Chain A
Amino acid sequence: MTPNTLSANDLAAGHARGRLAWSAERLTPKALEIRRDIITLLAKAQTGHSGGPLSSTELGTVLFFNELNVDPANPTWPERDFWHFSIGHVTPVIYSLMAERGYFPLKDLMKFRAFDGHAQGHPSKHDTPGIEVSAGSLGQGLSVCCGVAMAARIDRHPRRVYCVMGDGEQQEGQIWEASMFAAHYRLDNLCGIIDYNRKQIDGDVQDIMGIKPLADKWRSFNWNVIECPGHDIPELLKAFASAREHRGHPSVILAHTVMGQGVSYMADDYHWHGKPPKMDQAETALAELGTSYAEWSARLLAN
């Protein structure tokens, strides 16, 4: 397999036109809006996952509104970057990011997991415009992204590839098959992001099946490892830039986060991994986020 022969200038130029490249000043209020979307759509649906979407809100917002080179009006734009959430269950944040970025109307969020909507419980290529590969069985997404990165290598295309993973997901063996593959082929167009919130369905990750030392594991697999506080937008911006500039190895960002971040009664409590807030709980959460269900659902339905 041929090595990457694209110059730094080619890569930068090929990765510019569809980037929003927002600053931290604009990203911070957008992340707050994403959080409000998540709570509102979960309250409406009364089904779905709360914890992971809230822990990956900042990293998702930086990815979608600064980093990604995409055209939501034309999801198959040939120059696009490829993004994929291997943790398919965090659809509340995936769909909120997509809708806020313009892939589909915000009002679609109010039909999350509904029979007459497109927003399936787990991402479906068949149903939702902009979802390129369906996901839902953990551990598979990094392999998919390896294939996409390899296609770009074969075509000498400047596409960058972003794969969001969970920390509990690191327990899946296939992650390490893909990790080995990406390093073997020196896929430096590939960037993994791990939402390291230390919780999974049954409890603390370290109690269920320990993954530490995670950074050392990825380093020993020959990846460029970047650790950062996962709710700190300026630090996330630096991490993505560092991954983008690194040559010769794939990069992985270990974003240290808190499950349920932003809602006081959910924060750092694994019981919120897989359930939605009841309506009164949602009102409490939305009040903490500076809005109400009536106000925010009206905003979504109007767009």
Chain B
Amino acid sequence: MTTDAPDTTTVEGASNDPRADATISLPDKVEMKKTREGFGRALVDLGQQDPRVVVLVGDLSESTMVHFFAERFPERFIQVGIAEQNMMCVAAGLAAMGKIPFLATYGAFASCRSADQMRVTVAYSNLNVKIGGAHGGISVGPDGATHQAMEEISIVRSIPNMSIVVPCDFWETYKATIAAAQHAGPVYIRFGREDVPVVTDKNTPFTFGKGEVFAEGRDLSIIACGVMVYEGLRAREILAQRGISARVVNLHTPKPLDRALIERCARETGAIITAEEHQVHGGLGGAVSEVVVQSTPVPMELVAVHDRFGQSGKPAELMDAFGLRAKDIIAAAERVLARKRRA
């Protein structure tokens, strides 16, 4: 959404927030839903709209939720088995013949195991392959470090021609998947495993490559992607009680990056916190920093996973332990505002 149309995206059931011109505010009880279901549902709708859409999977039909598509369009569903490198290149061949292939596997395999195939065959040829990377982030939980993909943004955005989108909830994953089909060129869609708070609705505008101001603020900007958008909105409410006005930006597309919005946040609020369920090196925080230091230097804090592997545990425990909560954004806000005052 843009700030020009602030009133169209209020979550149903949310109270009107008198504190600021928030466009998305949190209801008392937030609906929880899986982002991967948004991916699976969107594929069915795409399959219906466009006969060029085909879906490939590496033995993970139900956990990536492409089984909905498989049931509806069996003649356009390709089971590749446990062979992600092959899958990436088979998708490339389909794309070379005018198909719009979506492949689905876990993000750890999509981004790392088949990185060379993504670089050489897909991206260098600029083929119209859509990569669905499920199970992104520490919130994958009990499966542990091997299955908690936290490097996708760094890897994918460093490859020319690639785009990457990190939607924040069920509805945005649905829209990002539709938008990926409409975008000419390879796109990586990163989504998670668990039920996560639904903060947008069916009608919330979504533009590929454009960030959205979800809530206005003056003192600092929280620029987040994925589930950290929700944590940012929660942090904003608590900061407001302390007299701090925080802007929350959903920057769902780390590449192509909405530079203008980042520069505007730096200019108008003078301090930026980035928040992502991803390694700190080269992720959303890195992408935003690259813009800020070259155009409008302001104090920044990066809320992310700091150069360590994950571990088994409940998703909530891990989000706490790895510093990916509203409280961590609030602590970062105190630090960044102290530096802003000194500047």
A interface, over-half SS? helix
Pick the most buried of B75, B78, B121, B126: most chain A CB atoms within 10 A of its CB.
B121
Q: Is B80 an interface residue (CB 8 A)?
A: yes
Choose one: B74, B85, B91, B124; the contact of A147 (CB below 8 Å). B91
Whether the pair A177, B124 counts as a contact (CB closer than 8 A) is: no
Q: Is B9 an interface residue (CB 8 A)?
A: no
Pick the most buried of A133, A135, A147: most chain B CB atoms within 10 A of its CB.
A147
Q: Is B83 an interface residue (CB 8 A)?
A: yes
Whether the pair A134, B120 counts as a contact (CB closer than 8 A) is: yes
Minimal beta-carbon separation of A217 from chain B (angstroms)? 17
Whether the pair A126, B121 counts as a contact (CB closer than 8 A) is: no
Q: Is A73 an interface residue (CB 8 A)?
A: no
Q: Is A125 an interface residue (CB 8 A)?
A: yes
A1→B92 CA distance, assembly (Å): 19
Whether the pair B126, A174 counts as a contact (CB closer than 8 A) is: no
Residue of B nearest to A184 (CB): B81
Contacts of A125 on B, CB cut-off 8 Å?
124-126
Whether the pair B80, A181 counts as a contact (CB closer than 8 A) is: yes
Known: A143-B90, A181-B90. A134 touches B125 (CB 8 A): yes
Whether the pair A134, B76 counts as a contact (CB closer than 8 A) is: no
A181→B85 CA distance, assembly (Å): 12
Contacts of A143 on B, CB cut-off 8 Å?
85-90, 92-93, 117, 121
Minimal beta-carbon separation of B54 from chain A (angstroms)? 7
Whether the pair A2, B93 counts as a contact (CB closer than 8 A) is: no
Contacts of A184 on B, CB cut-off 8 Å?
81
Minimal beta-carbon separation of B241 from chain A (angstroms)? 54
Whether the pair B85, A1 counts as a contact (CB closer than 8 A) is: no
Whether the pair B117, A150 counts as a contact (CB closer than 8 A) is: no
Contacts of B81 on A, CB cut-off 8 Å?
180-181, 184
Q: Is A165 an interface residue (CB 8 A)?
A: no
A136→B121 CA distance, assembly (Å): 9
Whether the pair B86, A174 counts as a contact (CB closer than 8 A) is: yes
Contacts of A132 on B, CB cut-off 8 Å?
96, 125
The 6 closest A-B pairs by CB, nearest first: A147-B93, A143-B89, A177-B86, A151-B97, A177-B83, A147-B90
Given contacts A147-B96, A178-B86, 19 further A-B contacts (CB under 8 A): A2-B75, A126-B125, A133-B125, A135-B120, A136-B120, A143-B93, A144-B96, A144-B121, A146-B86, A146-B89, A147-B93, A148-B93, A148-B94, A151-B93, A174-B83, A174-B86, A177-B83, A178-B90, A181-B81
Question: Which residues on B are within 8 Å of A, measured CB to CB?
Answer: 54, 74-76, 78, 80-81, 83, 85-99, 101, 116-117, 119-121, 124-127
